[in-house]
Amino acid sequence: MKGKGYTLIELILSIALLGLIATYFITSISFGYKNIVNMEDRTINMYTVQQNMENTIKEKKKLEPTDPQKNFEIFDKTISAHEIKLTTSNNNEIIAYIPKETINYNIPVLSSDPVIKINEIDTDKPYSPQPLFVDVLDFNWELFVAEVPVTDSTKPDHLMSVYRWYISDEIQYSPDIDPGDDLKRYFAIKEWNEAKKQLPYAESEGLSFIPNIKANYNRLSARELKTNLGLSDKELIDRFGNRYFRYGITPYSIAGRIGEEKISNYVYVTKPIIVESATFDMDKTIEITFNQEVRSPDISEIKLNGVFANWYNNRYYDNNIKKVKIDDADKKKLIITLNNKRNNITLPIGGNSLQKGAVQSISFGEISIYNGEDGTFEITNK
């Protein structure tokens, strides 16, 4: 019979299908409810364990550690702690180590300011008298600072100290100018902090961040900077010349409180006198221009290429220098007058040099001459 209703078979199949779907949802709902109940039990259990742990810590932290206990070595100090173990309902173990609580508000205080001494490098022999400044290209000096202890009254509270070498921005030296104690003008170039990972120069990316070095932490030299940073003389001059160097020590307490950083005296590291240009007028005059004002030329320390010399029977006769003086109008300029005019000279001419002491800086006294990477300079046409 044809009609718009459902057959008995269709109704039976529909009821069976609904039964299957209902079974699935009932199972899912039952599983989810079971998880919710289990999660509630776990949360209650964890809260109970946490509460028990906090109560145990509160009780134990006022007592000296006894068995079971564990010892820890921190900055060469032995710290004893209670060992607390609690087990959860699903047999997970929670362990905590709690030392005896010590209320310590004392801050360690250094007994004095650190003092930079200028030593002969690789020795403990100080220069005498101590110079006011050193030359960045003189590799015979070393800055040294002796250890500064904390005061006796704060020694029991002292955990460690942090040591830092600082340099200023480039600044002209003057015996009448105090660079001041404002460390905003300085930046750290080397430190030793026992709480941090050691970081050698090679990993400090050219001092884009501070190397943390224990070896020779209280010593610093131009040779160390040049060697470990792989610098040329020119790079060493540009980065570390004409700057003040200082040293700082910061004490830390056992409770982690930071004491006052004590800052040392300052030592000035000069740039050498640099030949900026040298010209020859093709007659008898050579002019050498420096990067700073100079004085007191020493004719015996001026070495010119042999083409300027007097020759006799094909033998070198003399340096052919008649007179050397500083230009009255421009004290950065050295004027060399030759005895005899040189013929058949083709410029430029290299192989000329000024030895240490050939001229003296008005600002710094006798310091080295820097004439390029090979120590010589070139003379060009005026």
List CB contacts of 133: < 8 A, sequence separation 6 or more. 173, 267, 268, 269, 270, 364
Task: Give per-residue pLDDT as tens, 116-154.
Answer: 999 999 989 999 999 988 999 999 999 999 999 999 999
The pTM (predicted TM-score) of the whole model is: 0.65
286, 361: one domain: yes
Residue 380 lies in a domain: no
State the pLDDT at residue 316. 64
Which is more confident, 145 or 72?
Answer: 145
Which is more confident, 54 or 336?
Answer: 336
Q: Give the 3-state DSSP-derived string for 339-350, with helices as H, strands as E and coil as C.
A: CCCCCCCCCCEE
pLDDT over 90 for what percent of the chain?
40
Residue 176 lies in a domain: yes
Render 103-141 in DSSP notation, one character per residue: -------BSS---EEEEETTSS-B-SSPPSEEETT-TTE
Over residues 377-382, the mean pLDDT reads 90
Q: How far, in Å, CA of 321 to CA of 336, rounded?
A: 7
* Residue that terminates a domain, selected from 248, 270, 292: 270
Cβ count near 236 (within 10 Å): 19
Residue 104 lies in a domain: no
* Residue that terminates a domain, selected from 230, 252, 270: 270
228, 126: one domain: yes
List CB contacts of 18: < 8 A, sequence separation 6 or more. none
Task: Give per-residue pLDDT as tens, 78-129.
Answer: 778 888 887 777 777 778 887 876 666 689 999 999 999 999 999 899 999 9
The helix/strand/coil state of 15 is helix
Query: Crossing angle of helices 222-229/233-240, nearest 10°?
Result: 120
Residue 250 lies in a domain: yes
133, 221: one domain: yes
The helix/strand/coil state of 304 is coil
Residue 374 lies in a domain: no
Strand bridging mode 294-295 / 310-312 = unpaired
Which residue is listed with tokens 């930046």? 187
206, 331: one domain: no
Task: Give per-residue pLDDT as tens, 249-261.
Answer: 999 998 888 999 9
94, 133: one domain: no
Residue 345 CB-density burial (10 A; 0-12 exposed, 13-18 middle, 19+ buried): middle
137, 85: one domain: no
Name the pLDDT band for 312 (thresholds 50, 70, 90).
Answer: confident
Residue 53 lies in a domain: yes
321, 211: one domain: no
127, 89: one domain: no
* Residue 220: pLDDT over 60: yes
Residue 375 lies in a domain: no
Which is more confident, 184 or 6?
Answer: 184
- Give the count of domains, the chain: 3
Residue 221: left (phi > 0), alpha (psi -120 to 50), or beta?
beta
Render 324-364 in DSSP notation, one character per residue: EEE-SS-TTEEEEEESSPPPS--S-EEEEEE-TTSSEETTT
Task: Tell me if 295 sits within 8 A of 331, measured CB to CB.
Answer: yes
145, 217: one domain: yes
Q: Where are the beta strands (DSSP E) in 130-211?
A: 133-135, 141-145, 158-168, 186-192
* Residue 19: pLDDT over 90: no
Over residues 311-336, the mean pLDDT reads 87
302, 263: one domain: no
Q: Which helix (H) or strand (E) holds 248?
A: strand 243-253
Residue 222 lies in a domain: yes
Task: Tell me if 106 sits within 8 A of 157, measured CB to CB.
Answer: yes
Over residues 42-48, the mean pLDDT reads 73
The number of angstroms, rounded, from the C-alpha of 240 to the middle of its chain's C-alpha atoms is 13
* Residue that terminates a domain, selected from 253, 270, 287: 270
223, 152: one domain: yes
Domain that holds residue 264: 116-270
95, 127: one domain: no
